Structures are given as structure tokens and as C-alpha cells.
Structure 1
């Protein structure tokens, strides 16, 4: 792995290195229809709306979630293959 690839992978893994963000991914992946309204994440996470929004932004910026704005609400879903991208970058991880 090149130094540049390692730096990029470290940046990506840093987005996952937070328990709240891992829980967000789990909630989205397990949701009916595989998408969740941001407004429905505050209670299960036990976090304030601004904190949930921050975690969602980090996951969107890292390429794990995609955002679909509908009126005043934002719905989030997993980016297909995003988690495979992480495991594929590590030799022998599959």
C-alpha cells in the first residue's frame, strides 16, 4: 500500500472510529427501506440533534452515507459498496 493510499484509508477509518457513528451505520443498515430520517436518530442514539447532524455529515463526507433532502427532512441511506471499499483496501481482510 502506498503512503498516499494509507493516508486516505486512515482518513476513512477515522470516520468509523466513533461509537456513535458505528451505531448510526447500524441503525441505517437495519432500518426498514434501508433509510432513516435524521429526526428519528436522536432518541435511539441519546444525542442532541446538532450532534447527530455532525456525525451524519462526517459519514456523508467519508462516503459511507448518502443524503436525500425531502422538504425540511433529510433521509440517509448507505452508499452501496462503501464498507466493501474499506475491507478491500486491507490485504487478506476478506
Structure 2
């Protein structure tokens, strides 16, 4: 008898699923806010780009659980903490969705 070779490849499950920036914005605008895990680099990278364009607000969650708003340019240095992504304050407070997610006229 001879040994039969097998070609079995184990695939590791992805830690996070990358979402298109448009999908990310739709989820944030519908809910008002979205939590992002520390290890979700794909979502954080898209969020940094969207923050630079003014489409969302990023808050890092500090060790004591309090949020700290990140200014443009600060987010890349805060990738080691969980984040909360918020809808910008087009109609009042950040994270509070307006009627249908539309921009005020």
C-alpha cells in the first residue's frame, strides 16, 4: 500500500469582516452610533477616511469606559482602543439620528 497525499487547507475565520464605506455610513446614520472593536482595523481604516471627509465623528473609549472625541489626525494614533463611530451633529447632538437620516435643508 502507499500513502495517499491529501490537499487539505485549513482556513482561519476572519476576525472582522471588511465593510464598504457606504455600508458603514448607512449603518451609523441609521443607528446614530456604532461600536468598533479594538482589532477591527478594516472598519477603523474606513472610518478614518470618512472622518477626514467630515462624514462621521470618532470617539475612542478610554480604559474607564468614558468616550473621548478624536479630532482629525488623532485617530491613527488611537487604533489600540475600542471606538464609537457617530453620525455628525447635522441636526443637534452627535450620534442622534434625524428624521429619515437626511441632511437638513
How far apart, CA to CA, are the structure 2 residues paired with 1:73 and 1:30?
21
| Unaligned stretches of 5+ residues in structure 2 | 1-18, 63-80, 91-101
Query: What TM-score, normalized to structure 2?
Result: 0.46
Q: Secondary structure at the match of 1:69?
A: strand
How far apart, CA to CA, are the structure 1 residues paired with 2:33 and 2:29?
7
Point out the structure with the larger helix share.
1
| Unaligned stretches of 5+ residues in structure 1 | 1-18, 40-47, 89-94
The alpha carbon displacement at 1:84 in A equals: 4.0
The alpha carbon displacement at 1:78 in A equals: 1.2
Cα RMSD between the aligned structures? Answer: 2.7
The alpha carbon displacement at 1:64 in A equals: 0.7
Larger radius of gyration: 2
Aligned to 1:68: 59
How many equivalent pairs are there?
58
Aligned to 1:58: 49
The alpha carbon displacement at 1:21 in A equals: 0.8
Q: Which runs of 4+ in 1 moved over 2 A?
A: none
How far apart, CA to CA, are the structure 2 residues paired with 1:38 and 1:53?
7
Give 1:79's match in structure 2, choosing from 88, 93, 96.
88
